[in-house]
Amino acid sequence: MTRTAVYNDYNHPQPGETSTLTLDEKVSREISRNGIQRPKGYTVSYHANPEVEKMHFGPKHPMKPWRLTLTNKIVLAYGMHEAMDVYLPRAATFQELTEYHKEDYIEFLSRVTPKDKLDLEGKGILPYNMGDDCPVFDGLYEYCSLYSGASLDAARKLTNNQSDIAINWSGGLHHAKKAEASGFCYTNDIVLAILQLLLYHPRVLYIDLDVHHGDGVEQAFWSTDRVMTLSLHKYDRATFFPGTGGSDDTGPKNNANPGAHHSLNVPLHDGIDDESYVQLFKDVVGPCIETYQPTAVVIQCGGDSLGGDRLGCFNINIRAHGECVEYAKNLGLPLLVVGGGGYTPRNVARLWAHETSVCLGTRLHPSLPSHTPFIEHFAPDKSLYPELSQTGRYDNKNSDKYLRDIVTSIREQLRYVQGNPSVQLQHVPPDLGAVREEVEREIEEEREVKDFGRRRKERGAGMRGEYAH
């Protein structure tokens, strides 16, 4: 689909417009003012379907797909679409979703309705961890199919060498499990996309910037050395969802298992700031790249790690978050960029628009273009870069020693990865079924007790998990 067609999907008349310039002329002016042009030497693709934005979890639910509308409005207002290949991705098929997820679970998602939910609740048998955190709403299956399809489309553009950096802000739903919903997530588009990448890439590094642990992706690849997961997140086993991702959660305990030491976690306390976060990111990602030598990278850019987020507890500003994405971009590897959490929509939109510009190598003027739709939502400053670190600020409980100890711990885990024959893997098996079966067996053997405890926390998330702050 052409850029113009996609642009028109997002082009809404603005009330009270008095300028004699057409919208196209205004956008052209922004392109010139910001020096926006197609990157030299690499291609960026942008995967967006406006239908995702229409979904509604409910009036009191913190997940607002409308944040994608705000994101795309800013991207288009600056004219960044002119520097990218813009795609309208199709929905994922049932067969594609069941490449990872259980068929009975996807079948349930495809047929359940809000009325069914009420009937099941009345019988006390609402299955698959559906509930307050993961409600049943009109269009649920379409929603899952669309955001998952966009990540699959982005991954395929990378494997087909049509793109070097592929962006899907509707994706990044990292909590979803093989056969149940979790933490506002229903299908795990990240896992599906990584499985696609593994058809062509021997090793994939997954990096998670969400304030919540990327437990669903970690669990999916728990027993393989072909994916290394690295999650930076707030950690409190007792009170913060999902209660996993401690420094000792490094993969299977049996060193003979290929996945041992390939699940790396950076558990943080409240209040980490820009300087500490960016330095920590570089100090842990650099050694991972050097040791593991991935051939592709996936980065989840959850916006709930920003300061002032409704469910977050960090003091990070937009530019610092984007600096982590820039570091990943500068690795020069095929890069899949996805969204994730983020529950203050105006700030999530600012963040993802900024990180789109990072992928393009463009520096944007800090004042949002005056023709940006819904610009009043960004009042009073109407800036792309508001000061977020002082918004509902948390005391920084991450001491320098604590952060140094984290880096030391990560380096120690990576020491076990060195010399692993699979790091030098040359043959890429065409069928990943055996990998998925091994993952499932190991999850059952290694994590049965932990899973039980986590499910209890997830069901109570409305009281002390992601839902309540």
Could you tell me if 297 and 204 are in contact, meaning their C-beta atoms sit under 8 angstroms apart?
A: yes
pLDDT of residue 371: 96
Q: What does the pLDDT look like over 196-209, one tens digit per residue?
A: 999 999 999 999 99
**Strands 204-208 and 335-338, how do they pair?**
unpaired
Alpha carbon 265 to its chain's center: 16
Distance separating alpha carbons of residues 254 and 239, to the nearest angstrom: 29
pLDDT of residue 442: 56
pLDDT of residue 458: 42
pLDDT of residue 448: 56
Q: What does the pLDDT look like over 166-181, one tens digit per residue?
A: 999 999 999 999 999 9
Average pLDDT of the residues in 40-57: 97
pLDDT of residue 278: 98
Beta bridge partners of 33: none
Could you tell me if 190 and 210 are in contact, meaning their C-beta atoms sit under 8 angstroms apart?
A: no
pLDDT of residue 438: 55
Q: In a 3-state reduction of DSSP, which class is residue 95?
A: helix
* pLDDT band per the 50, 70, 90 thresholds, residue 447: low
Average pLDDT of the residues in 447-459: 49
Q: Could you tell me if residue 87 is left (phi over 0), alpha (psi between -120 and 50 degrees) or otherwise beta?
A: beta
Check residue 293 and report its DSSP letter.
-
| Lowest-pLDDT choice from 16-25, 302-311, 321-330 | 16-25
Residue 284, H or E segment? helix 274-292
**Is a pLDDT exceeding 70 seen at residue 302?**
yes
List, in order, residues 6 or more apart from 66 with CB less than 8 Å away: 53, 345
The share of the chain scoring above pLDDT 70, in percent, equals: 84
**Is a pLDDT exceeding 50 seen at residue 316?**
yes
Q: What does the pLDDT look like over 232-283, one tens digit per residue?
A: 999 999 999 999 999 999 999 999 999 999 999 999 999 999 999 999 999 9
pLDDT of residue 382: 97
pLDDT of residue 389: 84
| Lowest-pLDDT choice from 72-81, 281-290, 457-466 | 457-466
Report, in this order, helix, strand and coil percent for the chain, each rounded to 5: 45, 10, 45
Could you tell me if 292 and 264 are in contact, meaning their C-beta atoms sit under 8 angstroms apart?
A: no
**Strands 44-47 and 204-208, how do they pair?**
unpaired
pLDDT of residue 62: 97
**Is a pLDDT exceeding 50 seen at residue 408?**
yes
Q: 407 or 1, which is more confident?
A: 407
* pLDDT band per the 50, 70, 90 thresholds, residue 450: low
Catalytic residue set: 213
Q: What does the pLDDT look like over 4-33, one tens digit per residue?
A: 445 445 455 444 445 568 989 999 999 999
Q: 169 or 445, which is more confident?
A: 169
Q: How many helices (H) and strands (E) does the chain have?
A: 15, 8
pLDDT of residue 435: 46
* pLDDT band per the 50, 70, 90 thresholds, residue 427: very low
Sheet architecture: strand order including 204-208: 85-87, 44-47, 165-168, 335-338, 296-300, 204-208, 227-234, 263-268
Structure pTM? 0.87
pLDDT of residue 117: 79
Q: In a 3-state reduction of DSSP, which class is residue 230?
A: strand
Average pLDDT, the chain: 89
